[in-house]
């Protein structure tokens, strides 16, 4: 495809070479006009000049986009390294979540709208960012994954929302990794409430179209502690599902689930107290 050709061409040619190529083609077209003054030659020369100029602009834009992607990838790699180092420096988690409330609204075509509201506290001297991950349970196309949108912002004391935070996101295999710049930064013992909103095209398509089971899970790590979690999944109207809890038999897991209905839509919710480290807990749904 044309965009792939642009990327390959720019990897092998510097921007100055690209510009020289465009200028050369424009000069050649001008020479044809000077030597052959017919209307047909002029028309074709005009088309060639317009094409060359447009190609040059597209090439420069693609080069700029490529440079930005390389920069973001480098910064994300450094953040991941920094996160791993901090995780190993102390037995304390990087961030502790007193209350994790997540809602996943599923559309009939499998698109999802997810909202996470977290009440977090800093167990260490200072915390600059929070790291969240998410993944799809099936192999989606890059075109679909590029359409994922994500925002994060503080929830004020009156439940109003603050300005948008900066988010640095990247992919580790099939896992989306997002680093949220906390604003303000948290110092030991301080708390903050923030909201993360994400739209994910076709994330639950196998569940909605092929009647495959879908899992909605959380797992804590040594760097992330969750003390209480509430996780709700909202199905479209006129849909219902069989469900089972995941992690119910694990040691120290206090897990409950229930089903409610609102505006004709089934809501499947699970609750957990003190989520154990490195233990998957959640719910599995399959449409009836």
- Listed by start position, the domains of the chain span 2-88, 93-287
**Which tokens go with 176?**
């989306």
Higher pLDDT pick, 12 / 242: 242
Q: Using alpha carbons, select from 188, 272, 185, 186 the residue that is nearest to residue 229.
A: 272
User: pTM (2 decimals)?
Assistant: 0.74
In 3D space, the residue among 227, 150, 133 whose CA is nearest the CA of residue 196 turns out to be 150
pLDDT value at residue 76: 55
Torsion of CA 42, 48, 52, 53, to 10 degrees: 40
Residue 270 class from Cβ within 10 Å (0-12 exposed, 13-18 middle, 19+ buried)? buried
pLDDT tier at 278, thresholds 50, 70, 90: confident
The answer for residues whose C-beta is within 8 angstroms of residue 135's C-beta and 6 or more apart is 174, 175, 176
Q: Token pair for residue 159?
A: 């439940």
Class of domain 93-287: mainly beta
92: Cα within 13 Å, side-chain hemisphere: 13
Burial class of residue 118 in the structure, from the number of CB atoms within 10 Å of its CB (0-12 exposed, 13-18 middle, 19+ buried): buried
Q: Pairing between strand 95-106 and 224-226?
A: parallel
pLDDT given for residue 87 in this prediction? 57
Supply the pLDDT for residue 256.
Answer: 93
Q: Which two tokens stand for residue 284?
A: 């599995």
pLDDT tens digits for range 175-214: 999 999 988 889 999 999 999 999 999 999 999 999 999 9
Helix, strand, or coil here: 45?
helix
Of the listed ranges 30-39, 86-95, 133-142, 234-243, the least confidently predicted one is: 30-39
pLDDT of residue 24: 59
At 40, the pLDDT band (50, 70, 90 cuts) reads low
The residue among 22 and 212 whose pLDDT is bigger is: 212
pLDDT at 162 over 70: yes
b/e map 227-249, b = 16+ CB within 10 Å: bbbebbbbbeeebebebebbbee
Give the tokens for residue 75.
Answer: 């910064």
Residue 172 pLDDT: 85
**What is the rounded distance in angstroms from the CA atom of residue 221 to the CA atom of residue 279?**
8
Given pLDDT bands bounded at 50, 70 and 90, which one contains residue 288? Answer: very high
pLDDT at 158 over 60: yes
């Amino acid at each position: 495809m044309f965009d792939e050709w642009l990327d390959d061409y720019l990897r092998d040619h510097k921007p100055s070479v690209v510009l020289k190529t465009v200028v050369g083609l424009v000069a050649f077209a001008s020479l044809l006009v000077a030597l052959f003054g017919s209307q047909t030659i002029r028309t074709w020369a005009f088309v060639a000049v317009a094409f060359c100029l447009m190609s040059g602009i597209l090439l420069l834009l693609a080069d700029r986009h490529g440079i930005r992607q390389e920069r973001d990838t480098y910064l994300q790699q450094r953040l991941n390294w920094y996160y791993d180092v901090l995780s190993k420096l102390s037995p304390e988690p990087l961030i502790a979540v007193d209350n994790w409330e997540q809602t996943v609204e599923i559309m009939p075509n499998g698109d999802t709208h997810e909202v996470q509201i977290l009440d977090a506290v800093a167990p260490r001297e200072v915390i600059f960012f929070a790291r969240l991950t998410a993944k799809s349970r099936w192999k989606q196309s890059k075109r679909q994954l590029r359409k994922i949108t994500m925002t994060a912002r503080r929830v004020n004391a009156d439940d109003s929302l603050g300005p948008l935070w900066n988010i640095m996101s990247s992919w580790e295999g099939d896992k989306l990794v997002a680093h949220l710049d906390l604003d303000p930064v948290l110092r030991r013992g301080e708390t903050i409430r923030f909201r993360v909103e994400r739209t994910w095209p076709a994330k639950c398509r196998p569940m909605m179209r092929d009647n495959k089971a879908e899992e909605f899970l959380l797992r804590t790590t040594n760097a992330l502690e969750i003390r209480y979690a509430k996780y709700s999944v909202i199905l479209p109207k006129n849909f219902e599902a069989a469900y089972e809890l995941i992690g119910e038999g694990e040691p120290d897991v206090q897990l409950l689930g229930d089903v409610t209905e609102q505006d004709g839509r089934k809501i499947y919710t699970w609750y957990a107290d003190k989520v154990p480290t490195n233990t998957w807990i959640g719910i599995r749904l399959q449409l009836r």
